[in-house]
Structure formats: structure tokens, C-alpha cells
A = this chain, B = another copy of it.
Amino acid sequence: MKLVDQAVSSAVEAHKKRALGSRANRVALLNGLADALDATAAELIAIADSETHLGVPRLTGEVARTGFQLRMFADLVSQGQLDSVLVNPAVAGPPPVGHPALIRDYESLGPVAMFSASNFPFAFSVLGGDTASALAAGCPVVVKGHPGHPKLTERTVEMAQSVVAAQGLHPGVFGLVTGEGVEVGQSLVDHPQIAAVAFTGSVHGGLALWARCNARPRPIPFFGELGSINPIVALEAALEKDSQALAETLAGSITLGCGQFCTSPGIVFLPSGALGDQFAVQLKAALAKASTHAMLHQGIQAQYDKRISQVRAAGVQTLVEPRDGCQAYVAQTNLATFMASKTLQEEVFGSACLLVQVDSADQVCQGLHAVGGSLTVTLWGADSPTNGVDQILRVARQIAGRVLFASVPTGVAVAAGQHHGGPFPSSTMPSTTSVGPDAMMRFLRPVCLQDAPQWVQESLHA
């Protein structure tokens, strides 16, 4: 495919010429992109709102996060701590104790194919976390624009390319390919000179691209974030204390962004009996007062409608129906029905939540195991390790990348302690994170230098 070839060739050329070889270049580029984003924010937000329906307040917050991320990676590159050189001097004598002088450095993987997400037109799109972390790692980026926000993509790329030009960098450090169908993306991940892929999107699309990465003559890493159910475990201790407030917080989290978040809560394990019943009533009341905006595009709406009808058909009791002004669906079922239904154990992308009644910590653990990999598990009421709470925490840690003990999973902090990933399908590389400083390390690979001469050692600290 000609456009893909051109974009990748230019990226390869930029990498060969070490356009991002110096830390100073990377720092300047990342800060320059953040500044340009700030300067064009009002214009970009207006375009984004018209294309995504996400609303100005949310999009304004997202632009702030995106700029914050770019500057965070600039600081990390500048400090050089995460990817610092490890010097391991020679030890005299025979092996295994004795060994030659070793230095562990890091090498940029090379041109990265970055697939924009529809649900974060800034923070997981053209200049989002994947792009920022790949550039920070010294990798040129070829963006696959999302067809859900084409004008925003075009305008953001234009702005980014003018920053690249103004800084005198090779234009290949930042390229774009677009296309409605799947062919452009396929051709991009198949390209022999693409070194890694970053993807945020559906299980279906992600699996298809991942399979292509692995089927290449030389397979490459695929960093995919494909889906997550984000179960909440509402323990009696929490409902006894805070039932009303938690129901309201949950209603807000379910409807936020019309549920179009990777961290939207899809399941709540609720104690059967009076406390759980009361919570369900409170949640219903809170949702009666909530509102949502239109979904991102018709395809997502159609998929949501389809999944809701599948859930309805799986033997659940519907508690909240989507209505004009608030498209949220809530149903309730027991653990046995949940355990027996693959449909109920899979993500519904959009505002939808299933309340699953449980009688014991053992049942919670069964339910969590059935969910499998998740970006998050939230435990409400785990203030002490009694009544099987420690057992539930243990299972939560096994299936999730983040365990919350308060609040709701929506809202992902961009901070050093963050881990945004987890067992499949939440990540195809569960030990990596797509949010926070360590996201940069996805695009670097250790290289050991054995008996390096003086000039090589000096070049590492330049």
C-alpha cells in the first residue's frame, strides 16, 4: 500500500538518521507538542466535540491530561532515570563468578505503528500516551488515524508536523496513515520495517492485528489494550456505611462518557439480601436523575444495542432501561446464571452494569475468576482482612492490573505508581502499562555491551 510505504519509509529514514537519538531533541519535541496543543486547544476541542459528542468539559480535561503526559515524558527523558545505563564491571576468575565487563543500555525498538482509539480523541489518539511514550523512547511514530474523528486527526497531525518542522527534525519522526477499512491498518502492521504496534480498541480488532504481528516472518511486539469489565465488589461493610453515596458515585461512573471507557464498571458483586436490594433501589434512583450524551458513532451504538439484547436474553432481570436522555442499562442476576453465561461474562461497551448477587467471599472469588483479566477490580468495604476479604483481594490481584479500595475505576491517574494493564483481554502484554512513566519502557529493549571500548562507554553518557 503506497501511503503506508511512504509513511514507514520516512519513519525508517528518520530512525536511521537518529532524528530522536539525542535526549535534548526528544525533550524539545515533547514539550513543543504540549505547547502547541495548549495553543490550539480551543480549536481542537471544538472539532473533537463535533465529531465525538463527548462534550467540552470532558474534552478540555482530556487535552490537559494529554499535554501533562507529553511534558511528563519530556521530564523523564531529561532525567534519564528509567532508562539509565547499568554498569557491571568485570569480575576476575572463572565462571560462574567471574565475568567480563558488561554494560546494560537500552535501544529504541524502531518505527512504532500507533492505532488511535475512538473513545479518547486526545489522550489515546494522535498525541496520546502511546505516541508520547514511543517518542520519549526515541521511536518514530506512524499514527493510524481513527475514522471516528478524521478532522481532529488531520488538524492535530498538521499541528504536530509543524512542530517537527519548526524544530528542524526529520519529518519521518511523526507520520499519519488513514483509511476507513481494515486494510490500511493491516498493511501497516505487516510492514517489514515496523518494529512494534500500540493499539487501544476492541477485542475483535485487536486480536486480528495481533495475529498478523505474530504471523510476520519476523514477529514484533503488539501492545494491545482490548477490553475490560472492571468488576466492583460491594461488601456488606461498605453498604452498611455508605450505600446511598456509593450508589450515586456508581451511577456517575456508569454514565460517564456514556460508558465509553476501558475502565467503565460492568459488573457489581452485591450481597444477596436486604443490603444488596437496598443498593439496587438506590442505584436505580440515582440513574433516574442521570443523563448521557450520544455515543461516539453509529457502529458503537449498534454494537451496544446488540450486546444489551444478548444480555436481556441471558436470563437476567432488567432493573434500568435505557431512556431518552440517559442510555444506561442495569440488570440483576444470581451467581449461577452469571457463571453459566459467557455472554454475561463479556464486556458491554457503553453504559451497562450487571448486578450479580452473591452469598459469600467464595462466591465473589468464583465470579472474579469467571471475569478473568481486567484492568481493574474495585473492593468496597475492605477496611479489614476479615470475612474472607483477604481471599477476595488475592483473587482481585490475580485477575487485575489495578485494585481500588475506594471510589470507582473510571479516572486513571497518570502517575508513577499507576499500572494500566492486566491479564488478557485487558492487555496483550500484561507486564506493561499504557499509562504512566513506565509506558515508555515498552518501546525500549535492553542491550548488553560486553567489553565495550572507551569510545562506546563515553558515547553512552553523552
Asked if A372 is at the interface of the complex by the 8 Å CB criterion, the answer is: yes
Copies assembled: 2
Least Cβ–Cβ distance between A363 and chain B, in angstroms: 16
Q: How far is the CA of A220 from the CA of B428 in the complex (A)?
A: 8
Interface residues in A420-448 by Cβ distance below 8 A to B read 420-425, 428-431, 433, 438, 441-442, 444-448
Q: How far is the CA of A104 from the CA of B416 in the complex (A)?
A: 8
User: A428, B219: Cβ atoms under 8 Å?
Assistant: yes
Asked if A303 is at the interface of the complex by the 8 Å CB criterion, the answer is: no
User: A88, B416: Cβ atoms under 8 Å?
Assistant: yes
Given the complex, which residues of B lie within 8 Å of A182, measured CB to CB? none
Least Cβ–Cβ distance between A107 and chain B, in angstroms: 5
Asked if A403 is at the interface of the complex by the 8 Å CB criterion, the answer is: yes
Which residue of the partner chain B has the closest CB to A384? Answer: B455
The stretch from A92-100, A294-302, A326-334 touching chain B is A92-100
The stretch from A112-120, A142-150, A243-251, A394-402 touching chain B is A394-402
Q: How far is the CA of A452 from the CA of B406 in the complex (A)?
A: 8
User: A447, B430: Cβ atoms under 8 Å?
Assistant: no
Knowing A64-B96, A447-B403, the reply to whether A415 touches B102 (Cβ < 8 A) is yes
The stretch from A170-178, A210-218, A282-290, A309-317 touching chain B is A210-218
User: A97, B110: Cβ atoms under 8 Å?
Assistant: no
Known: A385-B459, A431-B441. 5 other contacts (CB 8 A): A65-B96, A86-B417, A88-B415, A210-B214, A413-B450
Asked if A168 is at the interface of the complex by the 8 Å CB criterion, the answer is: no
Q: How far is the CA of A87 from the CA of B401 in the complex (A)?
A: 16
Q: How far is the CA of A68 from the CA of B93 in the complex (A)?
A: 14
Q: How far is the CA of A87 from the CA of B418 in the complex (A)?
A: 10
User: A449, B405: Cβ atoms under 8 Å?
Assistant: yes
Asked if A383 is at the interface of the complex by the 8 Å CB criterion, the answer is: yes
Least Cβ–Cβ distance between A229 and chain B, in angstroms: 13
Which residue of the partner chain B has the closest CB to A386? Answer: B455
A369-402 near B? 1/0 per residue, CB < 8 Å: 0001100000000111100000001100110111
Asked if A325 is at the interface of the complex by the 8 Å CB criterion, the answer is: no
By CB atoms of chain B within 10 A, which of A87, A394, A449 has the most?
A449
Knowing A220-B424, A417-B86, A417-B87, the reply to whether A402 touches B96 (Cβ < 8 A) is no
Given the complex, which residues of B lie within 8 Å of A419, measured CB to CB? 104, 446-448
A223-256 near B? 1/0 per residue, CB < 8 Å: 0000000000000000000000000000000000
